[in-house]
Every structure is written in C-alpha cells, then in structure tokens.
Structure 1
Amino acid sequence: MLPFSHFFGFRQNTGILPSRRFFKGAQILTVFLGFYSFCYICTIARENGTIRILSSLRLNNFLCLSLPKPPHLSDNHFSTRHPPMNLIVAYMRSGSTLTANMVRHNEGDFYMFEPLHGITQAVQKTSPVQFLNGTKRMISRRELFTVYAELLYHWFTCNFAGIDITALTHPFIVQYTPELGEYYRCINPKTSRRSKTENVKMCLTWLHKRCVKSKSRTIKTIRLPISMAGKLLDWLPSLKIIHLIRDPRGILNSQFEKLVNDGKNMSTAAEELCQSISNDLSAYEDLQYCHKNRITRIIYEDMCENPFVIVPKLYEFLNTKYTKRVNDYVKWTMTGPVRSCDYCTNKGNALMNAYRWISIIPRHVIQTFDTHCSFLYPKLGYQNLDYDKLNITERSWLPGTSH
C-alpha cells in the first residue's frame, strides 16, 4: 500500500520540500472538512429551529447598509442639537390625524400635517412644481416617492428653501396647526402687491425660528411608502417612525363614504390599498431588523380600545414624557359621548367610531373588499367576518391572533 505521504507529493525522510501536488491535496482536504463541518452545523441548527430563521432573512438584513444621503441634501440646516423627530406613516382614513395629534401633543413640538399633499396634486395635474429657492421642476410619477423622502428631510431639518411653495402656503397649516397661525396670517395679508413667494420669504423667519427651537418635530403623511421612510432613518439619526395600521375594510368604507377615493371603483381601490399595505409590511420587517428601536407599528383599533395603554407606550417609544396634560388630552379625545363631525378628531367614544363601518357596510361591498384584502387579515389579527353575522359582531381585530 502506498504511504499517506505519497498522495501529498513528498517522500518521507528525504528533506525534499512538498511539491505542488501537496498543496493541491491540502486544498481538497480543507474543502472536504469545511463541507463536512457545514453539514454538521446545519443538522444541529435544523434540530434547534435556527436554520428556519436564517433562511427567512434577506441578504440586506445581514448587511444593514446605510443608504448614502444624496449630495444635494445639505446638513447646513440642521440645528446643533438634533431634536427627536417623529414620522407617522399611514393610509387615508386610517385614523392618522387622531394618532398624530396624540403624538404631537407634547410641549414644544413642531408639527406639519400632510406636507406632501400639494406636490401630489401638482404631479397628478402634470403641473410644474415651484420651490422656495426659485426653481421650477416637472416631477414624474416615477420619481415622486424619492422626491417625497427628500421633501420630508427638508421639513425635518428646517430647510424651507428646498420645499415647494404649495406646502408652505397650504390651508392645512392654519387648519391643523393653529399654533402656526401667526405665520399663516403673515403670508396671507388682507392687502398686498407682493407675490405669494415673496410673502413667504418675508414671513419665513418666524416659521424657521419656531422649527429650529422646537423640542421635537413631528410629521404625519399618508403618501410615503415604508420602504422610502427607511431612507429617512439612514439620513436622520434622531428619527423614529410609527407605522399605523387599520382594518382595510374600515379604511375603504370610510374613503367611499367621504368620497375621497380619487374616482376609483371599489375593486381597484381595494386592490391598490391592500397591495400597498402588503408591500409596507414586507419593508417594515426589513427596517425593524436593522432599526428595531426606531420603528414601531400600532393597530388603530387597539389604540381606540386601550388608549391609556397604547398612547403611553408610544411616548415611551419616542422617549417623550407622558404628562398629565397629554393624559387629559387623550381622555378628552378618545372617550365620552359621540360627537358628530366629519374631519374632527375629538369625536368621543373612539372605539365605536372605529367599528361603525361594521353596522353599515353592504354585503356586496364587503365581498369586494374581501376579494382583494382577505389575505392580509390573519397577518394583522383581523377576523374574516361573515356578513350574516355582522349584526352580532362588535369588533374585527382580536389581540394575539396575528401571524
């Protein structure tokens, strides 16, 4: 039998250095041992369930690489102390205004309501968008989400020169942030020969001062996908994101009831909404893996049922003190008798309002919604409701039932 040394290309007791065949043999042995060890580890991992977890992770979850900030997004407008920044990402008629009011009710917060509304309308009308710095730009639908992220970056960093004029002059400012009323009155004088842009430039010092000196900054939007919100987590180190979810049937029913469905039929609206939510859920998983302490999700129905549990948890997540002032506001807004108003947030009995759709939705409507959205229900803890039993159904979300 040939000696073991023969296979590795050298003779015993000759003093001759190993040949090229030796190194080749050593490489083969190394690969074999490595493969054997890998198989052994996989066998142990499979028994412990680890292999299932590892196989579900995406490559970018391992890397968690930060996305570089575009060069044109300057840091010069940052205040020196980088205050806490809060972003509520939600869907139209999902309870986002109510949720944002809970979050921003702490003292010294600079809040902006739907700052992407105006630019969205301009793109839909294929109109050029004018920015405060004097530039005009046609924005395509393809690049819109990227522009959204950059605009929110400018809002959070108080860089108003990079923001569109429509957002800086929209009636939402006085309607949803009355504390900015002085600025809004300044840009809308009773008599003025100046242009709207000139008025804004003249009054901007007040808005900029308010923003820079704020203890925190909060923005609520229904237009930004979670995947694009992830860019802001990379660009803004003090940012935290709240992803608000509501039963899609409640969202859609409210949209059609208030005629804010953009002319879409029920089938198209349901398909688009639930696909959007599904995409956001996938993106959320990725972001939570890389930024687990900076992004959270709340269920609207859970907040309405347990406001004095969920809202304090939100404040804890945001590292903000939950004061008696905030608690009193939650009590005034979420409880008490039902008040009739379409777009106000202090309707009372929030839980009843959250589930009002159950008592009024027609059979064909819920069937249409279920066709496109039922795949989401178990993921979020919602029941697939039988229409004939709706009259005895009190709620659609059950805690602890999501997958």
Structure 2
Amino acid sequence: MGRRKSVALLTLSFVLVYLGLVSISHIANLDRSQGLSSRSQEDVQYTLPSMDQVLQSVSDLDLQRVLKAYKNRHEEIPPDTPPLRLIVVSTWRSGSTLLGEVLASYPGVYYHYEPLTPYGLHQISPGVLQNEVTDLLNKILHCQYSGLDEYLKFAFVNPDLFVRNTRLWYMCGAMPRTKCYLPENLNKLCSLFPVHAMKLVRLRLEVVKDLVAADPKVKIIFLVRDPRAVMASRTRNIDWCETRECIDPGYLCADMSRDLAQYLVIKEEYPDNILLLRYEDFANDLYKKSEEILKWAGLTFHKNVKSYLDDHTTSDEEEPWSTRHDPKSRVGRWMKMIRFDEVARIQYHCRNVMKSLGYRTFSSISEMSGGNAVGLLNIP
C-alpha cells in the first residue's frame, strides 16, 4: 500500500513537472512569437497613410483641392516600393546635384535638397552642432516639421530648398505659397511618400552615422570625386567658394580622409546601409550605375528615371549648376582648366586618400596630358 502510494505520488510529480515544462515552453514560444512579430513590425513599420486618409484629415479647402488634383500622379508609385531614407553624403562640386536628381526622379520620392544650407559654407563635424543638426535631419526625414520655425523661415526666403522637390513644389504651386510652409501642411504632404532622398554637402559621415544607427531604413550613398576635379570646379566655375573650408585643398582632403575612414567603420557595422560611389564611375556609365544604385536601395530602374536621364544627357547647358549635359564628356575637363602647379599642390595634400580611392597622381604635365586619372577602386 505504501509502495503504491509512493508510485502514485511520483507519477503525479512527473505529470506536474511535465505540465509545468509544457506551460513554460508555451509561454516562451508565445513570447518569442510576439517578439518576432513585434520586431518584424518594427522593421517594416512606417506611417504611410493613403491619399484618402490624408484627404479625410484635411480641413483646409486649398489643401484638399491640391491633394485631389495630385491624386492621379500619386498613383504612379509602384505598390511594392519599400520605405527608404536615401542620403547622399558628399562635398561641394562633387556631382551630388545630379545624383540627387536621379534619385528624385523615381516615383514616390520626396526630395530634401540641401537642408543644411542655413549653415553656410562650412563643414559640420562632430561637436557643438552635432545634436542640433541630427535632430533637424531626423525630423524632416520623418515628416515632423513642427518646431522647425527657423528652418522654414530660411526655406521661405531661399525657395531652392523646396523648388528642387518637384513633387512638393507642384502641389505648392496650386495654393497660396504661405500655406506650403505651414508645418501642419508639410507634415501631411510629406507623409504621403514612401521614399525620401536627401543630399548633404556640409555634413561629414561621422555625424551621418547617427542617422543610420537610429533608423535601419536609412541608407547612405557616399559620393566621392577626384579632388583635383573638385578644386578645379570650385576655383573656375563658381564665385561663391570663399571660405577656407571650401577653397583650401588641405581641408577638402582632410575631410575626404576622415570620411573614408568612417565609411569603413559604417561598412563594418551596417554593411547593407552604405554604398561608396565615385563620381567618375557614375558619369562614365550613367544608365548602368543608376540602375545598380536603385537595385542596391531596393528599387527598380523605373521608366521615369530613364526618361530623366534621356532628357538631361541629350542637353548641353554650360551653367555651373546645371545638370543638363552628358557628364561623361566632362569627367576629364579639369585637366584643361588648372595649371600643373595647382595639380601638384592638391596632390601633396591628397595623395593618400587619392591612392585609396584609385585616383592616379601625375608627376609631370606630359603625364597629365595623357588624361588617365582614374584607376581601379579596391575598396568594397
């Protein structure tokens, strides 16, 4: 009897332990499933309201009319377009305007053109302005214009910041201009677009890294150009490059060197979120490189992008800010624009970073006249 009672108690113990383990396993699986679901939702979570939802939330009659008129254009956005934040990081006169416009030609792209223009001809590195600048960029990249009064005041008197955003400006042109700068209106218009493209020529990669760390949807295109071509363009094509940070090749190449080092750090930590692009490679095969860039970002080589390239590469405007020309025909033009002593000075400051990026140095005028300045890029 005692032995039977012991067996019964032992069996009961096993049953209780088994039930406990099953319960724990069930809870763990439930937690894991909820965790995976939550993480999955977090990865794809993006507040992208439909046009109808935005229309229902708008009381302003002008804004309602603009949205209704834009509705057909908005439907051109491919339904499988992923939520993205594409940031072109470069420096003055490196081809970033052309690249930015290529990206902006894709349907569904909301283009933030040079949002750091208010900071003048200066480079922003880690330091005093870092938090201020990243806060501004994070807000406009996520359609949060409220509280950005100074930025909006600057944009109002410097319309280029909004004019270059052709989709926004199309809508702005159909209502009183002041309404285009109201935060509540911008929040709604901006939120319609799944892809945001931004070009920055005043912010170094070490600061931009904060944006990648904060949001996995952020992807950086690190655009570089032969510093000799950059300096030739700054000193020959424009008259506004007056600060030492703009006119001194030592500053340019110090920035390029730091950026390249930071690129390698970001590439190690976020391999899918950064792409190194030489302007020369881009210009020499514009269609192929545009397709590769879009594919890397998760987009297709849309017919609108091809139409943009067809239109811009068959024109030939000489204005220094124009993107209407065939860049391939101008890649080596700098060699006829500056004296060899200037080339030697730039190479003195830039030799190491030029070697890393595959730019060949010249030791004589005759060597330079051969025009073979771009070698192989050996950086991933």
Q: Same fold (TM over 0.5)?
A: yes
Q: Tell me what 1:375 maps to.
A: 352
1:353 correspondence with 2:341: no
Check the 8 A contact 2:87/2:220 in 1, yes or no.
Answer: yes
Q: Tell me what 1:115 maps to.
A: 115
1:165 is matched with which residue: 134, 141, 152?
Answer: 152
Q: Tell me what 2:24 maps to.
A: none
The CA deviation string for residues 127-159 of structure 1, in whole angstroms up to 9 with x for no partner, is xxxxxxxxxxxx999412332222110111111
One-letter code of the match for 1:259? Answer: D
Unaligned residue ranges in structure 1 (runs of 5+): 1-76, 125-138, 190-198
One-letter code of the match for 2:284? Answer: E
Shift of 1:88: 0.6
> 2: CA distance between counterparts of 1:251 and 1:78?
38
Q: Tell me what 1:11 maps to.
A: none
1:249 correspondence with 2:228: yes
One-letter code of the match for 1:364? Answer: D
Structure 1 residues 390, 356: CA separation in 2 closer, same or farther (over 3 Å shift)? farther
> 2: CA distance between counterparts of 1:140 and 1:109?
28
Q: Tell me what 1:8 maps to.
A: none
Which shifted more, 219-228 or 207-216? 207-216
TM-score by length of 2: 0.71
Percent of pairs with identical residues: 21
Check the 8 A contact 1:305/1:351 in 2, yes or no.
Answer: yes
Check the 8 A contact 2:332/2:371 in 1, yes or no.
Answer: yes
Q: Tell me what 1:398 maps to.
A: 375
> 1: CA distance between counterparts of 2:303 and 2:323?
20
Indicate the structure with greater helix content: 2
2:164 is matched with which residue: 172, 176, 182?
Answer: 176
Q: Which runs of 4+ in 1 moved over 6 A?
A: none
> 2: CA distance between counterparts of 1:326 and 1:273?
31
Mapping for residues 101-112 of structure 1, pairs under 5 Å: 101-112=101-112
Check the 8 A contact 1:377/1:383 in 2, yes or no.
Answer: yes
1:219 correspondence with 2:198: yes
Check the 8 A contact 1:248/1:373 in 2, yes or no.
Answer: yes
Structure 1 residues 231, 140: CA separation in 2 closer, same or farther (over 3 Å shift)? closer
> 2: CA distance between counterparts of 1:123 and 1:360?
25
Unaligned residue ranges in structure 2 (runs of 5+): 1-44, 50-81
1:294 is matched with which residue: 273, 288, 308?
Answer: 273
Mapping for residues 257-272 of structure 1, pairs under 5 Å: 257=236, 258-264=238-244, 269-272=248-251
Q: Which has the larger radius of gyration?
A: 1
Shift of 1:102: 1.1
TM-score by length of 1: 0.67
Shift of 1:167: 4.6
Partner SS for 1:219: strand
Structure 1 residues 146, 394: CA separation in 2 closer, same or farther (over 3 Å shift)? same
1:152 is matched with which residue: 137, 143, 160?
Answer: 137
Check the 8 A contact 2:92/2:201 in 1, yes or no.
Answer: yes
Shift of 1:109: 0.8
Tell me the C-alpha RMSD between the 2 structures. Answer: 3.0
